[in-house]
Each structure stands twice: as structure tokens, then as C-alpha cells.
């Protein structure tokens, strides 16, 4: 199953940040085509909540403990009126070898823990459910692992079939469950759970989702652009081969030279070569160069190479740091967009995709991916150009109703310009939910005047 295709089908949030309830089904034009979800709405309406939720999903599927500062940030993301939040994600796993497909739903709750005089996150009540469908067979959708019990998990019949009768395993899993809670990590996707479950469908599903999180799910938060503004280039490269390959983010300084391990230098060259196939088609005549300036001993005693990224255009070469932030952002995410275009299992979520990118170019890039791509791209944006280039089903709007945060517009005809349609709905409110909290220009002007008078005093 390690070569099976993983497709994210649905995201459900409850009491997470300012989303009391919100659900986004993810759609494709056809089975082999790309899935795009552009999330639009006014400030503070729940756009970034989707990106943050996918970041938390990635962490859980990898079985990694959250760093304390990250845990604190997520703990503060629980809706102010609630003690806990619930996140649920549905996947389709399609095994191409034997024509078997799985509907898999993974969900978990998070709550605040103030026991040590600081607010942190606790992950609990995890649940993994799935059904399978083959060429001639199908199974019912069933809960296989539910951690909301004093035992490692229920139902007991599933526990016995998945783990067996070994009492030592039960003791070890109870310890692992406590450790996962203490470390702010997933118990279902812990190393101990993987090792305890007998070979079979459930174990294969867990392993495939972990692999998906490791190599195919990428979450780019707004702070990513901040790195670029500080002249640090996050560059995504693939290391390893075949099933052992993985994609990692490498941070390369732009204001001065960086030092990279000898064993990944070739991987960087491969990534840059791929980027340079697409980049000149987006920004005419521009390519990225990699200058090797010498060698330097790394802290671990191995030999590293001193490198610097350059901008090459029409026979001229200069430091990449001199390019605009928009160009640097395009270069930094281009490897991920290439993956989205070519790979069904790739899911990339980007907060504020439009930051620094020329709006017409943004619309054209998204148009190409939506028409010819294979993977999934979720993004938030304030730039409305994509509303004119993407299919209406690829656009999700936030509402002012926290109990129904995400909708797709109804009544949009193929002849309608969705951008104009959106502006019209802001004014007239013709959808099932209002998408804009009205403002009063006179009151805004008065507030500016009063604030100025306050400063003067």
C-alpha cells in the first residue's frame, strides 16, 4: 500500500479558533485532475484556521511531539467559548495494484491543560475509521481505533483482532498513551502503536498516512514569507531514493553564503534544475544559479560546501537577495507547485499565497495547475484575480456565521464573473449565509478623527 494514492477529501473543524463549525469538501473536476481550494473572506473570518489545522494534522500523522511554544500557540487557538476543539479529516486511499480503495476518517480533539501553571495543548479522543471497496467486495464504514477509554483503545473486538492477546503489548500501549499525552503527540500514530498492530489493512493505512505526512503534505504559513523578507530562502529538496525518499525544507541565507552537507549538494542541484525548467516561463529569462565558493568543516566533523544562490538573467549574474520578495517567494514554492502539478498524492496548503506575487501571474499559475495538474493545492488569498481564472467549485468563501464558516456560492452561471458576483453578494447578501460583516464609512471616518484627537491630547 506504500505506493497507493492518498487524497484529502474533507476537512471539518469544530470550536477551532473562530470557527465554531466549518466543513470543506474538497473537489476535483475529474478523477485524474487537480483539486484546488482557494479560501476567500474578510480578515478574521477563519481562512488561516484551515491552514493551521492542516499543520496540526501533519504533526499528528508523523507522530511527532509538538514543541512547547507550538503547543502553547495551538492551545490558545481553541475557541474562546469552548474548552476543547475537534478536527476531522477524510481521505481516499486508492491502491492501484489490486484495485482496492479505502475511505479513511481520522479525527482528534484538543483541549487546554493548565496543570503546570502554563497553558498547553492536549491531544485526546483520537479516532480512526475506515471502509474498503474492491472490485468484487466492499466493507461497511467501521470505527477501528477509538482512544476515548481507560484502555489503549476500543472497540475491544477490534483491539483483539489488531493487537492480539499479548498482555505485554497492552501494558506498553498504556504507557505509550500516557507518554503521547504528556508530549502533546498522537497516540494512534505513535511508533509504539505502529509496532503493536499486527500486519494487515489497519497497519498499512497508518503507515501510508505517516508517509503522506512526511513526504506529500506541505503546510506553508504566513511566517514563511517573513523568512523570505529577512533574506532566508526555504528551498524544498528531495533526499533518498524510491520508498525511502522524502522532501525536506532547507533554509539557505541570501545575504551571505551558506554551508551545506556534501551529501545533499547534488539534491540541491536537482531541485534547482527542476525550478529552472519552469521559472523562465513564469518570469522571462530568469534562472536560479548555485555558486560553490569553497569547502568548510561542518560542526559534526563532515565536509560541507560553501554555497550562494544567484539570479541569472540575460547573461548577468548577481546575488538572489537583490531580487524582489515576490520573485523569491515564487522560487521558494516552485518545487512544491511542480509536485502538485505532477503527483496525485501531493497536498500543499499555503497561507497568503498572493503575498508579493503579481495578481495576473498568480491567476495564470493557478489556471495552469487547475487545468492540467494532478495534486491538491489549498490556499488563502486576498487577491481576487483567481476568482476569474478558477472553476467556481475551486473557490470557498468564509461567512460571518461561526456555525457555518465555509460555503461555495450557489446560483453562479458559467457566464458570471465570480469576482463581480462576490462583490455583488457583499452588497446584496444573496447567498444562504452573509459573507461580509458590513462596515460604515462615516463611522470609520469618525473613528479616525477621534483617534487623531486622542493622540494630540
163 membership: H or E segment, kind and range: helix 156-163
Task: Determine which helix (DSSP H) or strand (DSSP E) holds 316, and give its type and residue range.
Answer: strand 316-319
In angstroms, what CA-CA distances link 418 with 66, 154, 351, 398?
40, 47, 21, 15
CATH architecture of 1-216+343-457: 3-Layer(aba) Sandwich (3.40)
Instruction: Name which of 227, 247, 250, 275 is nearest 58 in CA terms.
Output: 247
pLDDT of residue 456: 54
Cα–Cα distance, 64 to 185 (Å, whole number): 6
> pLDDT of the chain along its 457 residues, tens only?
778 999 999 999 999 999 999 999 999 988 788 999 999 999 888 999 999 999 999 999 999 987 655 555 555 688 888 889 999 999 999 987 667 899 999 999 998 877 766 667 889 999 999 999 987 788 999 999 999 999 999 999 999 999 988 889 999 999 999 999 888 899 999 999 999 999 999 999 999 999 999 999 999 988 777 778 788 888 888 886 666 667 888 888 888 888 998 888 999 999 999 999 999 999 999 999 999 999 998 888 888 999 999 999 988 999 999 998 889 989 999 999 999 999 999 999 999 998 888 889 999 999 999 999 999 999 999 999 999 999 999 999 999 999 999 999 998 888 888 999 998 888 888 888 999 888 888 988 998 888 887 655 5
**For residue 333, which phi and psi values (nearest 5 degrees)?**
-100, 0
| Domain boundaries of the chain, sorted by first residue | 1-216+343-457, 228-333
Return the number of other C-beta atoms located less than 10 Å from residue 235's C-beta.
21
Q: Is the bond into 453 cis (omega within 30 degrees of 0)?
A: no
Which of 319, 373, 315 shows the shortest CA–CA distance to 342? Answer: 373
Q: Is 294 helix (H, G, I), strand (E, B) or coil?
A: strand
Q: Is 178 exposed, middle or buried (0-12, 13-18, 19+ CB in 10 A)?
A: exposed
| Predicted model pTM | 0.92
Query: Where do the H-state alpha helices sit in 4-155?
Result: 47-62, 68-75
Residue 4 dihedral angles phi and psi, to the nearest 5°: -65, 150
Cα pseudo-dihedral 275, 57, 375, 312, rounded to 10: -10
What was the pLDDT predicted at 50? 96
* Coil vs helix vs strand at 25: strand
Give the model's pLDDT for residue 241. 67
- pLDDT computed for residue 263 by the predictor: 84
- Residues 6+ away with beta carbon under 8 Å from 88: 10, 11, 12, 105, 106, 107
User: Degrees (nearest 5) of the Cα angle 60, 133, 374?
Assistant: 60
Asked whether the beta carbons of 340 and 377 are under 8 A apart, the reply is yes
Rounded to an integer, what is the distance from CA 1 to the centroid of its chain?
A: 23
For residues 398 and 39, the answer to whether their CB atoms sit within 8 Å is: yes
**Residue whose C-alpha is closest to residue 265's, from 282, 246, 250:** 250
At a CB cut-off of 8 Å and minimum separation 6, what does 343 contact? Answer: 216, 374, 375
d(CA 434, CA 422): 11
Which stretch of DSSP H or E encloses residue 170? helix 167-183
- Element holding 232 (H helix, E strand): strand 232-239
Half-sphere exposure of residue 349: CA atoms within 13 angstroms, side-chain side = 21
* CA distances in angstroms from 422 to 355, 384, 396, 410, 434, listed in the order given: 21, 9, 11, 11, 11
Amino acid at each position: 500500500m506504500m505506493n497507493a494514492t492518498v487524497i484529502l477529501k474533507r476537512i471539518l473543524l469544530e470550536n477551532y479558533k473562530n470557527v465554531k463549525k466549518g466543513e470543506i469538501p474538497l473537489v476535483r473536476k475529474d478523477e485524474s485532475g487537480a483539486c484546488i481550494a482557494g479560501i476567500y473572506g474578510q480578515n478574521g473570518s477563519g481562512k488561516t484556521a484551515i491552514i493551521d489545522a492542516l499543520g496540526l494534522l501533519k504533526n499528528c500523522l508523523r507522530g511527532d511531539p509538538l514543541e512547547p511554544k507550538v503547543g502553547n500557540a495551538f492551545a490558545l487557538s481553541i475557541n474562546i467559548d469552548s474548552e476543547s476543539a475537534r478536527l476531522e479529516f477524510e481521505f481516499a486511499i486508492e491502491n492501484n495494484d489490486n484495485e482496492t480503495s479505502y475511505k479513511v476518517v481520522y479525527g482528534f480533539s484538543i483541549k487546554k491543560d493548565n496543570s503546570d501553571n502554563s497553558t498547553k495543548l492536549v491531544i485526546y479522543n483520537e479516532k480512526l475509521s475506515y471502509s474498503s471497496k474492491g472490485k468484487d467486495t466492499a466493507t461497511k464504514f467501521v470505527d477501528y481505533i477509538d482512544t476515548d477509554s481507560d484502555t489503549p483503545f476500543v472497540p475491544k473486538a477490534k483491539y483483539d483482532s489488531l493487537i492480539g492477546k499479548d498482555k505485554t503489548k497492552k501494558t506498553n500501549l498504556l504507557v505509550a498513551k500516557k507518554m503521547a499525552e504528556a508530549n502533546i503527540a498522537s497516540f494512534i500514530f505513535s511508533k509504539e502503536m505502529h509496532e503493536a498492530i499486527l500486519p494487515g489493512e489497519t497497519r498499512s493505512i497508518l503507515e501510508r498516512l505517516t508517509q503522506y505526512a512526511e513526504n506529500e503534505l506541505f503546510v506553508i504559513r504566513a511566517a514563511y514569507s517573513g523568512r523570505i523578507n529577512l533574506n532566508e530562502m526555504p528551498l524544498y529538496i528531495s533526499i533518498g531514493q524510491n520508498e525511502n525518499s522524502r522532501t525536506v525544507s532547507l533554509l539557505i541565507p541570501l545575504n551571505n553564503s551558506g554551508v551545506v552537507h556534501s551529501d545533499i549538494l547534488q539534491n540541491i542541484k536537482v531541485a534547482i534544475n527542476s525550478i529552472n525548467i519552469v521559472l523562465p516561463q513564469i518570469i522571462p529569462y530568469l534562472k536560479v544559479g548555485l555558486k560553490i565558493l569553497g569547502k568548510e568543516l561542518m560542526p559534526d566533523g563532515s565536509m560541507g560546501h560553501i554555497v550562494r544562490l544567484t539570479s541569472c538573467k540575460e547573461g548577468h549574474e548577481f546575488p538572489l537577495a537583490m531580487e524582489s520578495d515576490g520573485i523569491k517567494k515564487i522560487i521558494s514554492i516552485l518545487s512544491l507547485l511542480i509536485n502538485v502539478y505532477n503527483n496525485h498524492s501531493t497536498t500543499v496548503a499555503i497561507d497568503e499565497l498572493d503575498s508579493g506575487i503579481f495578481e495576473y501571474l498568480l491567476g495564470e499559475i493557478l489556471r495552469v495547475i487547475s487545468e492540467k495538474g494532478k495534486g491538491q493545492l489549498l490556499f488563502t488569498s486576498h487577491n481576487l484575480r483567481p476568482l476569474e481564472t478558477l472553476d467556481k467549485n475551486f473557490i470557498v468563501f468564509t461567512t460571518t456565521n461561526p456555525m457555518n464558516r465555509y460555503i461555495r456560492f450557489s446560483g453562479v452561471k458559467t457566464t458570471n464573473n465570480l469576482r463581480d458576483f462576490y462583490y455583488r453578494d457583499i452588497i446584496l447578501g444573496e447567498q444562504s449565509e452573509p459573507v461580509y460583516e458590513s462596515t460604515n464609512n462615516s463611522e470609520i471616518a469618525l473613528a479616525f478623527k477621534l483617534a487623531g484627537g486622542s493622540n494630540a491630547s
